[in-house]
Amino acid sequence: MQNDTQQFPFRDNYTDEPEWSYNLRKTAWENYFRMPVPSRVDHIWKYSDPADYLPEYTADLFSGLPLVAPNGHSLKPEDQAEWAGAMGATLDQFYSVTTLPAELRKKGVIFMGLSQALRQHPELVQGKLGGLIASDFGKIENLNQAFWNTGFFLYVPDNVVIERPVHIQRNFEAPVSMTRLLVITGSNSQLTLVDDLTAPDGNPAGQVNSVNEIFAGENSSLDYVFLQRLQKNQKLYYTHRGEVARDGRMRSHFLSLGANTGKANIGVTLAGEGADSRLQGLLFGHDTQRFDHHTRHRHTAGNTYSKLDMKVAVRDKANSAYTGLIEIEEDAKNCEAYQENRNLILSETAKAESIPELEIKNNEVSCSHGVTMGSIDPEMLFYMQSRGLFSEEAIQMYVHGFYASIIDELPEAIRELARDLLDEQIGSKSVAA
């Protein structure tokens, strides 16, 4: 990694990017050099080396500018999944393009590349971009703020219901990709968003640094699905923060299936009374994949509810580490918070670790957490084989049953896709009991 003591001045603003956005980038670049590399003593870095997620030469990132897609870069009707009502995609590495039905545009829905939104809708973006993941968040997040060059912006006004899911397919082909997502939903709105991280077959090895900020308005309902199916030669560093206002409902579904190495820092803040957050994770690792996930539910308002269900299965020489924090502030009375992590270990060389954490600052709460570790029950495996299943078939059926509750909670439109992707991973090579 490049020596951080050798500071490069940030580039001039020779694009038409608004001054406020350019200043955010410049400040983030300065903070990147100011902040030390995260210490392995910090519990969220206990299982990963921060150097794995820092580019070797940061100066090379100056060549990637925040571009607006030119005419001619657009999606074709056949590019859109049948279940999707609108779609965004990354084309030619650097262009974020979208489609949106006319009836949603008439209702005030805005869906476009984030670079375009900076210019056309600063009144919506300014103050929200970097609002949940600010300059003091972390070194790697500052690198993203300084250099993101692809990303999407989605705004749903008050009282607007989007009935069919919005599908974002972010395709990563560059050696280093910096991407960002900003979502704002108004009061009494409804949205299902599928955030699909992919890369083409044969893609060269690369790093992906992705940051999401999602604001759910009062009494809104938002289902967010994160579908990570990168190639096995890619590394992913992913930071996600959501904020739920009064009486809002956020359902977050995280499916981690791809990448060689992936670190995720996922958090939701319950900021208004009556806010409700349900967070589910599905992780399947095989070969030499290494995953490190951290989740955080932070209750800053009273009478809020959170529930987390993380299920992990690993085989071959795969490795998973999970840390989960429930944090309830002093003034957040009458909160309920639950956290569960179940781990299924399918081979003697696979490994899973889990550290649940509670930080409760008042006594008027109901809160619990639990962790399980285990392999397939031999008696169950024998029973399935006695009914005519081969060993591998029985194990695959068992794994599907292990994940069934997570799949069943997904938005109905993508359950079949999720099952198919899981089938590909489970069946990619024989599973050892």
Round to whole Å and give the CA distance between 293 and 311.
11
- Cβ(277)–Cβ(243) below 8 Å: no
Query: Nearest CA to 306 among 271, 354, 263?
Result: 271
Residue 215's CB: how many other CB atoms inside 10 A?
23
Round to whole Å and give the CA distance between 94 and 91.
6
- Cβ(430)–Cβ(418) below 8 Å: no
Query: Nearest CA to 398 among 410, 385, 409?
Result: 385
Query: Nearest CA to 365 among 393, 338, 395, 396?
Result: 338
Round to whole Å and give the CA distance between 432 and 278.
33
Q: Is the pLDDT score of 429 beyond 80? A: no
pLDDT of the residue at 407: 96
Q: Is the pLDDT score of 128 beyond 90? A: yes
- Cβ(188)–Cβ(222) below 8 Å: no
Round to whole Å and give the CA distance between 336 and 328.
9
Round to whole Å and give the CA distance between 277 and 282.
17
- Express each pLDDT in 283-312 by its tens digit: 999 999 999 999 999 999 999 999 999 999
Residue carrying structure tokens 């993101």: 148
Q: Is the pLDDT score of 94 beyond 90? A: no
Give the type of residue at 109. Answer: V
- Express each pLDDT in 171-210 by its tens digit: 998 888 999 999 999 999 999 999 999 988 877 778 999 9
pLDDT of the residue at 384: 62
Give the model's confidence band at 430: pLDDT under 50 very low, under 70 low, under 90 confident, else very high: very low
Residue carrying structure tokens 């020596």: 3
Angle, nearest 10°, between helix axes 391-408 and 378-386?
110
User: Token digits for 378?
Assistant: 């031999």
User: Token digits for 376?
Assistant: 């397939």
- Express each pLDDT in 7-19 by its tens digit: 578 888 877 889 9
- Cβ(198)–Cβ(225) below 8 Å: no
95-99: strand order across its sheet: 95-99, 86-91, 166-171, 190-198, 221-228, 249-256, 276-285, 305-314, 335-345, 365-374
pLDDT of the residue at 126: 97
Round to whole Å and give the CA distance between 350 and 348.
6
Q: Is the pLDDT score of 234 beyond 60? A: yes
User: Token digits for 179?
Assistant: 């991407």
- Cβ(116)–Cβ(68) below 8 Å: yes
Torsion of CA 254, 259, 264, 268, to 10 degrees: -20
- Cβ(240)–Cβ(270) below 8 Å: no
pLDDT of the residue at 2: 45
The Cα-based distances of 346 to 154, 318, 364, 422 in angstroms read 40, 10, 40, 15
- Express each pLDDT in 367-421 by its tens digit: 999 999 998 877 766 656 666 655 677 778 888 889 999 999 999 999 999 999 9
Give the type of residue at 311. Answer: K
- Which neighbouring-strand residues pair with 122? none
- Express each pLDDT in 320-376 by its tens digit: 999 999 999 999 999 999 999 999 999 999 999 999 999 999 999 999 999 999 988
